[in-house]
Amino acid sequence: MSGYHSPQVDVPVRLNTNESPFPPPTDWVKSIGAIAESIDWNRYPDRAATELCEAIARRHGVAPEQVFVANGSNEVIQTILLAYGGHGRIVATFEPTYQMYAQIAHVTGAEVVEGERRADLTLDPIEIERVVARHQPAVTFLCNPNNPTGLVEPRENLEALLEVASGIVVVDEAYAEFSDWSAMELVSEDKPIAVTRTFSKTLSMAALRVGYVVGPTWLINDLRIAALPYHLDSFKQAATIAALQYTKEMEERVEFIKAQRARLEAEMRSLDLEVWTSGSNFVLFRSSAHDAKTLWSAVLAQGVLVRDCSSWPRLEGCLRVTVGTESENTAFLAALRASLPA
């Protein structure tokens, strides 16, 4: 196996990993010292992260027993696959999608089956039914909105999947705040659905490494069995509880990102690029007239790093740009314009 890599280059404008372009609220950053001083450092953390689960549960109007928190949503996904993947089990994805589902599933020894999308990268519910009926996956992943396409998954597709699902359905909502609907409302005790979220994107705290999942109590209990004891340190629990006071402020930034996304999409279309309409904080695009690697290098030479997806299966010719600050987006558009010979 090879690992998952997101190449980093030291450039002035980094629009390659879908982070928030803004730092977290200053008041939260200033409170970090006092939070650190309040920790009983000689004691193990609250293993169940009780207070944090309560705070997250309040945010979504669910019970604390329906919440499991881990070190980023990647660790949430890993814990789900430790509980429900593994040797002899099948994990289903619909490609192209976030690569860590297959990567972690393989690490646990599970077999991965890949459902296909249409040529325009949307997903046909008939394909969902085919994959589930044929393979009876223990875990099926849907990413809403999908990374790397940015496309919002229609609610009907998730409903079709829940109708036929043989195992757990994981809806990865790392980018949900930028979309017009969320599967969170479908979570209930009698459905095998788990919805994952992260503090890394809208909440501007990728460095803190916090993600969580909301699902039925029995599923959350299984995750608690699979997780290591004390996997979530005391400081992180307290810092995340404090961060939850600022969610309103963070969510106000979503409107700004969405307006900048519309600007990027419109300007890229005016440059004759193929652009997938995004419900996320990034945009996938392709030039029919220019080689993707040449274009990526030309944009990079002007100090702007985007993600080169062109070697990924089914994404020939594609690049992906994260929505940045207004000036970062201006720099990207200028670099792009200069890199597309007339």
Q: Are the beta carbons of 141 and 97 closer than 8 angstroms? A: yes
Q: Which is nearer to ligand PMP, 153 or 172 (CB)?
A: 172
The radius of gyration of the chain from alpha carbons, rounded to an integer in Å, stands at 20
Q: How many CB atoms lie within 10 A of CB 280?
A: 31
Q: Which is nearer to ligand PMP, 95 or 172 (CB)?
A: 172
Question: Site for ligand PMP (CB under 6 A): which residue of 21, 72, 150, 192?
Answer: 72
Residues 140-169, one symbol each (x = binds ligand PMP by CB under 6 A, - = not), give ---x---x----------------------
Q: Which is nearer to ligand PMP, 9 or 126 (CB)?
A: 9
Q: Are the beta carbons of 195 and 213 closer than 8 angstroms? A: yes
What is the size of the binding site for ligand PMP (CB under 6 A)? 13
Q: Is 126 exposed, middle or buried (0-12, 13-18, 19+ CB in 10 A)?
A: exposed
Question: Site for ligand PMP (CB under 6 A): which residue of 16, 18, 20, 237?
Answer: 18
Q: Are the beta carbons of 155 and 184 closer than 8 angstroms? A: no
Which residues lie across from 211 on neighbouring strands? 70, 198
Is residue 206 close enough to count as binding ligand PMP by CB under 6 A? yes
In 3D, which of 95, 90, 94, 101 has the Cα closest to residue 136?
90
Is residue 278 close enough to count as binding ligand PMP by CB under 6 A? no
Is residue 174 close enough to count as binding ligand PMP by CB under 6 A? yes
Near ligand PMP by CB under 6 A, which window of 28-36, 72-80, 178-186, 258-266?
72-80
Is residue 73 close enough to count as binding ligand PMP by CB under 6 A? yes
Q: Which is nearer to ligand PMP, 233 or 267 (CB)?
A: 233
Is residue 279 close enough to count as binding ligand PMP by CB under 6 A? no
Q: Helix (H, G, I), strand (E, B), or coil: what is residue 25?
A: coil
CA max distance for the chain: 65
| Angle at CA of residue 308, ends 306 and 313, nearest 5° | 150
Question: Site for ligand PMP (CB under 6 A): which residue of 13, 140, 144, 172?
Answer: 172
Query: Rule CB under 6 A: which residues touch ligand PMP?
Result: 18, 72-74, 98, 143, 147, 172, 174, 198, 200, 206, 211
